[in-house]
Amino acid sequence: KKKKKDQLLFKNICFKIDEEVAKLLELKAHLGGDDGKHQFVLKTAKGTRDYNPKQMAIREKVFNTIVSCFKRHGAETIDTPVFELKETLTGKYGEDSKLIYDLKDQGGELLSLRYDLTVPFARYLAMNKITNIKRYHIAKVYRRDNPAMTRGRYREFYQCDFDIAGQYDAMIPDAECLKIVHEILSELDLGDFRIKVNDRRILDGMFAVCGVPDNMFRTICSTVDKLDKLPWEAVKNEMVNEKGLSEEAADQIGVYVGMQGGMDLAERLLQDQKMCQSTQACAGLTDIKLLFSYLQLFQVTDKVVFDLSLARGLDYYTGIIYEAILTQAGVAPVAPETSNEAPTEECVTVGSVAGGGRYDGLVGMFDPKGRKVPCVGVSIGIERIFSIMEQKAEASTEKIRTTEVQVMVAAAQKNLLEERLRLITELWNAGIKAELMYKKSPKLLSQLQHCEESGIPLVAILGEQELKNGVVKLRNVATRDEVDISRADLIAEIKKRTSA
């Protein structure tokens, strides 16, 4: 009896197991499972994006323009690790330090992803005891920001930096940095732009004469830096109600940050009774006058404005600071000359497209003996520029080429794969960009259609008759004109036609 009872119990257990397995299989079928494989969520991480070939073609064109300008001005390039010791980055970015990406402790080193390319550059100079260099660096940086990707703000993005390190006479390197911004933005043809200029010494002097306590300079500077995004009333409210500044001091700051002009404004402020009380403000204003005299010689003063509202919140700036914004309609409208109000967020779709300044004390922070290396530099906002270029490309009917192929090696008849391979090898060995279809006997029409779709300008057509005569039929894809070229002259002819 006990044996029968155990057998019955076993059968019941097996039945229940089979029943549960069937339910699981049914659920799996309902969820679309495939052999137990994990179903991935296919998306990029927040604040990042993929780039398709068309977007990359636009991107490479922008990079080439920027690198060409940097090289024209005599810069050499370096590279640094994507992560740094956490202590290297700590305390260099003011209130933005909260946006640094910290990494998990791996064997005792506390590391963080680089926030910009400037602090790693300063560390590189101090570590290698370099006192003079003109360098550019193009690489990705990381910020744990709240991304606004429609406006070109990401958590992972490229920076394009140009910096001049070394002891030189005042404002000559600074003026060249502004000239570089002017050249790049003009060549990229993004629309009208303006380069705002100020000086940290002028800001600090202004804060002092307006009654801001010394220990509040940096935090009030970070608030003033928001004037490009917020109206004056909102900025004043943050100063008074959130940061504890007196309303009287805030109102005095409000008078100054509404001022814009050129060399004339610097001269006027040098006569201002309040500003005259600050030695560092006077030094900054004197340098602004000198800067504008050099900018006149560089022929860029039509785009540069001395703007006392410009603050740039990073802690390491010590002197001249600047920022370029687009002023074309619908991109970044400019506040009226007499107004203290910044453009509204609804109007601004991109924001600043370049910025930088002088940071004479940063290298000394890393040097064991505190030796300073004066530095000035500029960073081009490549992601924001790319957002505009992409929008322009979508609105344009012009076709964007995603390859640089100059000639397609095609066949007019079947079974000519070996001859096509021989010819394309000759072209590759001669440095010509060429391709062929990966079929033994493709149709001539499909080969020609591929050229039209891809923007390939020339087709080198092989046929039985051409092979007997020792020629290649060279076809212009746009005009459809064809001419027989001897095999010996083909490479020279292709290079002549594609040299532009």
Rounded CA-CA distance 97/93 in Å is 5
Rounded CA-CA distance 402/43 in Å is 24
Lowest mean pLDDT among 21-35, 125-139, 384-398: 21-35
Q: What is the mean pLDDT of residues 104-120?
A: 90
- Give the three-class secondary structure for 85: strand
> For residue 80, how many C-alpha atoms fall within 13 Å in the half-sphere facing its CB?
26
Looking at residue 38, its pLDDT comes to 67
Rounded CA-CA distance 166/130 in Å is 9
Rounded CA-CA distance 337/353 in Å is 21
pTM of the model: 0.81
pLDDT class of 10 with cuts at 50, 70, 90: confident
Tell me the β-bridge partners of 196: 305, 323
Looking at residue 342, its pLDDT comes to 38
Q: What is the mean pLDDT of residues 401-421?
A: 95
What crossing angle do the helices spanning 263-270 and 279-297 adopt, rounded to 10°?
160
Q: What is the mean pLDDT of residues 325-341?
A: 49
Q: How would DSSP label each residue in 431-481?
A: T--EE--SSSS--HHHHHHHHHHHT--EEEEE-HHHHHHTEEEEEETTT--
Question: Residue 26: exposed, middle, or buried by beta-carbon count in 10 A (0-12, 13-18, 19+)?
Answer: exposed
Rg (CA), the chain: 32
pLDDT, tens only, 271-304 = 998 899 999 999 999 999 999 999 999 999 999 9
pLDDT more than 70, % of the chain: 90
pLDDT, tens only, 243-264 = 988 989 999 999 998 899 999 9
CA 269 to mean position of chain CA atoms: 36
- In the annotated binding site for L-histidine, the residues are 116-118, 143, 159, 163, 312, 316-317
Class of the CATH domain delimited by 407-497:
alpha beta
- In the annotated binding site, the residues are 116-118, 143, 159, 163, 312, 316-317
CATH 3.40.50.300 fits 53-329+349-395, yes or no: no
Domain ranges of the chain: 53-329+349-395, 407-497
Lowest mean pLDDT among 3-12, 283-292, 320-329, 484-493: 3-12
- Residue 155 identity: R
Question: Residue 234: exposed, middle, or buried by beta-carbon count in 10 A (0-12, 13-18, 19+)?
Answer: middle
pLDDT, tens only, 14-54 = 767 877 887 787 777 666 655 556 677 888 888 888 999 99
Can you give the three-state secondary structure of 137-175, one letter per residue? EEEEEECCCCCCHHHCCCCEEEEEEEEEECCCCCCHHHH
pLDDT class of 146 with cuts at 50, 70, 90: confident
Looking at residue 23, its pLDDT comes to 78
Rounded CA-CA distance 348/353 in Å is 12
Which has the closest alpha carbon to 432: 449, 457, 402, 400?
457
Q: Report whether pLDDT(306) > 50.
A: yes
Looking at residue 442, its pLDDT comes to 95
CA-angle at 360, arms to 355 and 365, nearest 5°: 110
pLDDT, tens only, 461-494 = 999 999 999 999 999 999 999 999 999 999 999 9
